[in-house]
Chain A
Amino acid sequence: MLDGEQKLIELAIGGKSSAFGSLYDYYQPKIYRFVLIKVSHREEAEDLTHQVFMNAWENIRTYKNLGFPFSSWLYRIARNQVIDRYRTKKQELYLFDIDPDYFSELEGIEKNTDERLELERVTRTIKKLRRDYQDIIIMRFVEELSLKEIAASIDKSEGAVKLMQHRAIKELQELLK
């Protein structure tokens, strides 16, 4: 959570765009990563991330702190944006549709060829999981959100998230064998 986040949120709700800009600076990389891993297409991830923050800014007055942080609200918007995009397109995301630029980004992450190839394989396999499992894997292990934050994002109980996390890892391991 960002320091002074509550104050920034209050100012943003009051209409102060600079306050929302600060929130954007902090959360944009996280949301972008989350969307990119799910869609595996850089340009599409940029569009969706932009739309997430545009929607958040336009509807900031509807955000109410119900005990979960602002990030959960953003992730919820991001999840819905990805779902809506593929519902509109009426197509399944095939592994062959992955943007080559996406893997060039992984090249910047991991110089070692073997490890980079392994990273690519894991990324492709994550996309084979069901939607909820993908979200939990990314939020828990990539973005390092708490169980409480994840539960608020996907509208499930903490116990359910814990169980789903366990199943997601197990299924991912099975697929990677």
Chain B
Amino acid sequence: MELIEIVKKLKKIEANADYTRKSRQLIVSNEKNAWPAPYNLSEARQGRPGFSFKHFAANLFQSGSAIAMTAMLLFLVFGTFSLWKIFSPTNPVAIELTGLQAEARAIDIQIQLTNIAYQEQTLLENKTSTVPFAHRATPLKNVSGVLDPKVEQEVKNLGLTPVSSSTSVSINEALDSLSQ
């Protein structure tokens, strides 16, 4: 076929010998996993020389300085964080413990034993009385320990000595006094 024969003539096309030589040199000299090629094809076209130590050093310096700056930045970040942690004036754990201890001391636990005056007589009277029990058992002392005046009078009637609220009396002492 004539058309095919004409197309086949295109096989005679060849690349420029100088371009081929430079291109090959660039590709083959580009060692894999090593530093990049010193220059590219466009620079070769501009007539720059082949391998240039200056170019190689410049590439090396650029790569090295980039790595150094990255390392410095990481050092600054982690170093600042560590220093802040060491020289921090406040220790959250210490504060927490100190605070708890202070709170514990501040608690003024005053346990007051209320005086229980056992009145046998009162109970006996309450048993025989027709007054409902809820009304019979009058509190002898209020929470603060002050004797009710009515109670105090009843105690005197029984021949007993009323106990002052200012003095703390143990339950045993109170029972002893009542048993006399």
Contact = CB atoms under 8 A, between A and B. Distances in A.
Interface of A: 15, 17-18, 20-21, 24-25, 28-29, 32-33, 36-37, 42, 46-47, 49-50, 53-54, 57-58, 105-106, 108-110, 115, 118-119, 122-123, 126, 137-138, 141-144, 169, 172-173, 176
Nearest to B8: A141
20 contacts: A20-B27, A20-B28, A21-B28, A28-B15, A32-B15, A33-B10, A33-B11, A37-B10, A46-B16, A47-B42, A49-B23, A54-B30, A57-B30, A106-B13, A109-B13, A119-B6, A119-B9, A137-B7, A141-B7, A172-B3
A18 to B, nearest CB: 7
A137 to B, nearest CB: 7
A24 B28 CA distance: 9
B142 interface: no
A25 B24 contact: yes
A146 to B, nearest CB: 16
Given A33-B13, A141-B7, A24 B30 contact: no
Interface residues of B, number: 28
Instruction: Report whether over half of chain A's contact residues are helix, strand or loop; otherwise say mixed.
Output: helix
Contact of B3 (A37, A49, A176): A176
B13 A46 contact: no
Contact of A15 (B9, B10, B32): B32
Interface string B35-64: 000000110000000000000000000000
A54 B30 CA distance: 9
B121 interface: no
B135 interface: no
Given A17-B29, A28-B15, A46-B16, A119 B24 contact: no
B20 interface: yes
B24 A21 contact: yes
Instruction: Report whether over half of chain B's contact residues are helix, strand or loop; otherwise say mixed.
Output: helix
A143 B11 contact: yes
Given A33-B11, A118-B6, A122-B6, A47 B41 contact: yes
Contact of B13 (A24, A25, A105, A126): A105
Nearest to A101: B16
Given A46-B23, A50-B23, A105-B13, 13 more contacts: A18-B28, A20-B27, A28-B15, A33-B13, A33-B14, A50-B26, A50-B41, A54-B27, A57-B32, A106-B13, A119-B10, A122-B3, A176-B3
Contacts of B8: 141-142
B70 to A, nearest CB: 24
A122 B31 CA distance: 42
Given A15-B32, A46-B15, A46-B41, A142 B24 contact: no
A105 B100 CA distance: 94
A173 B14 CA distance: 26
A132 to B, nearest CB: 16
A17 B9 contact: no
Interface string B106-135: 000000000000000000000000000000
Nearest to B37: A54
Contact of A141 (B4, B19, B27): B4
Contacts of A141: 4, 7-8
